[in-house]
Amino acid sequence: MGEKKPKNQTVVIMGLCLLIALLVLSVIGVFAILEHAAPDGRAPQREALLTKGGESSGYALVVLQEPQGEHEAEWLRLCNNGDDSCAYWLARRDEGNYLLYLPMQTLAVSSDTITATEEKGEDGKICLVLRIRTPEGGEAVEPEAQLLWLQADSDSEKGNRVRVILDGREVDVRKMILMEGELYFQESGLL
């Protein structure tokens, strides 16, 4: 009988080790499920942009913690070689998203400081007019943090012509387009 005790102890020890491993894997699995189910703190938050009259504009500002993917980083590199007195507007046709970069802006803007209206231009074509006002006593930001991600809820061609009015004065807009992973500068007018 003295020989059976070590075998039983070995089986018990192996069983406890297996039980501990199973518990650890279960805890890891539960945390993985909770992390997937819970909203991520870095997930984009959509903030609807209003018109001057306080109505829904059909555009939303997407607030991102880390807005620079590989295309955005390349886009910022190209924009930073340009004139800092103008805004840069990137159209992503395949996704219906637009990125706006304001290199001259030093204070953070939010959906509360931007209005978006669709207005007819002198040529009779619809133009998206973004009016941005610098918040008084606002938070200072680094230039790359001025990347604003806008989403259009409309499937129409609205918003392809863009005017940016910053603190009451119109800013020259250099337009770029992302097509098939490549970035191109566009002439003024339609993208």
Per residue in 19-32, pLDDT (tens digit) is 999 999 988 888 77
Q: What is the pLDDT of residue 189?
A: 40
How many Å apart are CA 162 and CA 186, to the nearest integer?
12
**DSSP-assigned letter for residue 97:** E
Q: In terms of DSSP bridges, do strands 87-92 and 162-166 run parallel, antiparallel, or are they unpaired? A: unpaired
Query: What's the predicted TM-score (pTM) here?
Result: 0.64
Per residue in 118-158, pLDDT (tens digit) is 888 788 888 888 898 887 877 787 766 677 888 777 555 55
How many Å apart are CA 135 and CA 66, to the nearest integer?
22
Q: Is 53 in a helix, a strand, or coil? A: coil
Going by C-alpha positions, the residue among 143, 132, 141 that lies closest to residue 80 is 143
Going by C-alpha positions, the residue among 99, 61, 97, 64 that lies closest to residue 78 is 99
Confidence of residue 97 (pLDDT cuts 50, 70, 90): confident
How many Å apart are CA 160 and CA 157, to the nearest integer?
6
Contact 99, 89 (CB under 8 A): yes
